[in-house]
Structure 1
Amino acid sequence: MTSEIESRLQLALQLAEEAQEFILQHYQNKSLEVELKGDSSPVTIADRGAEELIRKRLAEVHPGDGVVGEEFDDKESDNGYKWILDPIDGTKSFVHGIPLFGTLIGIEKEGEMVAGLCRFPGLDDVVYAHNGGGAWWKKGANAPERCHVSTKSKLSESLVCITDIKLWDTKGIRDLLSEFGAKARLLRNWGDCYGHAMVATGRAEVILEPEMNPWDASPFLPILREAGGHYLNWDGEETIYGSNGISVNAALKDEIISMIKDHQS
């Protein structure tokens, strides 16, 4: 018998596919209009239209569920379930025609993240999980495969992903970035959702994000947990409500948190 959580995850997978079809109509479109929001981040008709599509379907199927999204006002929950949406995480990649953007859907029940997915419309990949069900990676028309974080335990052998270097400068932590760069085998600017998915699928060991919102983080807490790793804030807490975030494999978690705390002290 399918649980309420599993059935919602199956719906989320379906909605993400529907959103993908809409998003790809606007992808690599030279006439796409880009607006700047109040925080100077870009937004397009694809962002807003994809979130509207998902919200409309949710209102039909689960009218009592709450919804929080990047582009529109929150809808309160009547039953303890809340969907957290980012229709296009990595809008800058989307605008530049780079396929490393994703649609993020997280499902929260009574304050606990219980399921989530990250779909890459430009790659036709999706990574997803629900509590106790393992983490899964589906590539195109292929059957889903279980995915796991890597087992590398030395930073000197690890691939570390980061976001926009300007963020590290504006937050005054460029020296911390330099420390990671000196210790890691590779430091690459594969930020946003793509870096988190790389950690969950064992292709990278760490991603460090100095700035995060709940809709940026929501699916990765259950996905990383089920893949054998961790999604944390920089204080080492397993939450999507911190102002920053890390996805990391189990073997490197303590070292990464220690490096950050040493820098903060």
Structure 2
Amino acid sequence: MTTPIAEVRAAAERIAVAASVIPMAHFRAPLDIAAKADDSPVTVADQKTEAFIRDALADSFPDHGIFGEEYGISGSLEGETWIIDPIDGTRSFITGSPLFGMLMGYLIGGTPQLGLVRMPAIDETYVGLPGVGATLNGEPIRCRATTALDEALVYVNEAERIQAMDPALFARLCTVGHTRRMAYDCYPHALVASGQIDAVVDCGLEPYDYLPLVGLIEAAGGVITDWDGKALTLESDGCVVSAATPELHRELLAVLKA
């Protein structure tokens, strides 16, 4: 018997808001920065935030598995599972940008049932439950209805990574849409869910970066998959595209495959 989704949602929102105090106590303050094995940065704020979230989840749901960026896997990922990125955008965080986020996802058998994006520095909390709906600070949100790529507002995340990986693809992405912006991290995907923009192309992500987004985007009426159009799972390669409509999603997949 699984946990009632209302109980899951209430706990996720409560824990995310409470945990936000930790990164904000270190934001734009002197920090020691270490490098992980993949050369990505990590700070005490990342570690303390995840430890707080893990402890709070373990207190509320002792039988649930947890998979976090900083401390790995606790318990089983086969049943009810939480997936956590305590500071999504550590490079944004350490350079004083307020557009770092906090990600939490709730999965059953690997399938996202809830996605949460918390933006501590700008006090925004996005929550989505597929089949139920999505909210921003408690108010309903929904993706835009744009179906034509040449009318779309598009964000390209990790532009330098894409350019190094496939210069021809990067050149194509620099021409798509009515308006395009280069960006990073989770916030552009939240903007898709809230109807501010139409699509995001992203890459180099880990499961704790993209799986919490699935519940949010799908709950808001959008589509999010890998670059081949396949559903995102724990085993996906980290190349992600989110779009406001199926039609727009198909056009972006064609650009990615050209």
For the aligned pair, the TM-score class normalised by the smaller chain equals over 0.9
- Specify the SS of the correspondent of 1:47: helix
Normalising to structure 2: TM-score of the pair?
Answer: 0.94
Give the number of aligned pairs: 254
Q: Matched residues in 1 for 2:186 and 2:72: separation?
A: 22
Given that residues 221 and 238 in structure 1 are in contact (C-alpha distance below 8 angstroms), is that contact kept between their aligned partners in structure 2? no
- Residue 242, structure 1, aligned to residue 241, structure 2: no
Structure 2 vs 1, CA of residues 185 and 223 (structure 1 numbering), >3 Å: closer, same or farther?
A: same
Cα distance in 2 between the residues matched to 1:196 and 1:24: 22
Residues 203-212 or 80-89, more deviating: 203-212
Displacement of 1:22: 1.1
Q: Is the 8 A contact 2:221 2:244 kept in 1?
A: yes
Contact 1:191 1:207 in 2 (8 A): no
Letter in 2 for 1:121: P
Q: CA deviation at 1:78?
A: 8.3
Instruction: Give deviations 1:151-187, integer Å, cap 9, x for gaps.
Output: 122222222112232201331x222122122132222
With 95-104 and 126-135 compared, the bigger mean Cα shift is at: 126-135
Which one is further off, 57-66 or 174-183?
174-183
Q: Which amino acid aligns with 1:220?
A: L
Which letter does structure 1 place at the counterpart of 2:210? A
Q: CA deviation at 1:46?
A: 0.7
The alpha-carbon deviation at position 58 of structure 1 amounts to: 1.5
For residues 128 and 136 of structure 2, what CA distance do their matches in structure 1 show? 9
Which deviates further from its counterpart, 246-255 or 235-244? 235-244
Residue 5 of structure 2: aligned partner: 5
* Partner residue in 2 for 1:166: 160
Q: Deviations over 1:240-263 (max 9, x none)?
A: 43321111111301111122122x
Distance of 2:134 and 2:125 partners within structure 1: 11
Structure 2 Cα separation of the partners of residues 131 and 194 of structure 1: 19
Identity among equivalent positions (%) equals: 32
Q: Secondary structure at the match of 1:252?
A: helix
Q: Could you tell me the TM-score, scaled by structure 1's length? A: 0.91
Aligned to 2:252: 256
Q: 2:175 aligns with which of 172, 182, 185?
A: 182
Q: What is the aligned-residue RMSD (CA, Å)? A: 1.6
Letter of the 1:35 partner, please give it. A
Q: Please say if residues 65 and 79 of structure 1, whose CA atoms lie closer than 8 Å, have aligned partners that are also in contact.
A: no
Q: Which amino acid aligns with 1:18?
A: A
Deviation string, structure 1 residues 179-232 (Cα, Å, up to 9, x no partner): 122132222122210110011111111111121111001221111111111111
Q: Map 1:25-40; keep pairs closer than 5 Å.
A: 25-29=25-29, 31-40=30-39
CA distance in 1, matches of 2:77, 2:249: 36
Judging changes above 3 Å, is the alpha-carbon distance between structure 1 residues 78 and 261 closer, same or farther for their aligned structure 2 residues?
closer
**Residue 164 and residue 79 in structure 1: after superposition, are their counterparts in 2 closer, same or farther (change >3 A)?**
closer
CA contact (8 A) 1:135 1:223 kept: yes
Cα distance between partner residues in 2 of 1:83 and 1:210: 22
Which deviates more, 185-194 or 199-208? 185-194
The CA distance in 2 between the partners of 1:185 and 1:131, in whole Å, is 29
Tell me, which stretches of 5 or more residues in structure 1 are unaligned? 139-143
Paired amino acid for 1:15: I
Equivalent positions of 1:131-142 (< 5 A) are 131-138=130-137
Task: Give the C-alpha shift of residue 80 in structure 1.
Answer: 1.2
Q: Is the 8 A contact 2:77 2:109 kept in 1?
A: no
Structure-2 residue corresponding to 1:125: 124
Question: Could you tell me which amino acid in structure 1 is paired with residue 51 of structure 2?
Answer: E
Structure 1 stretches of 4+ with a deviation exceeding 4 A read none
Inter-partner Cα distance in structure 2 for 1:151 and 1:124: 26
Q: 1:220 maps to what in 2?
A: 213
Q: How far apart, CA to CA, are the structure 2 residues paired with 1:146 and 1:174?
A: 39
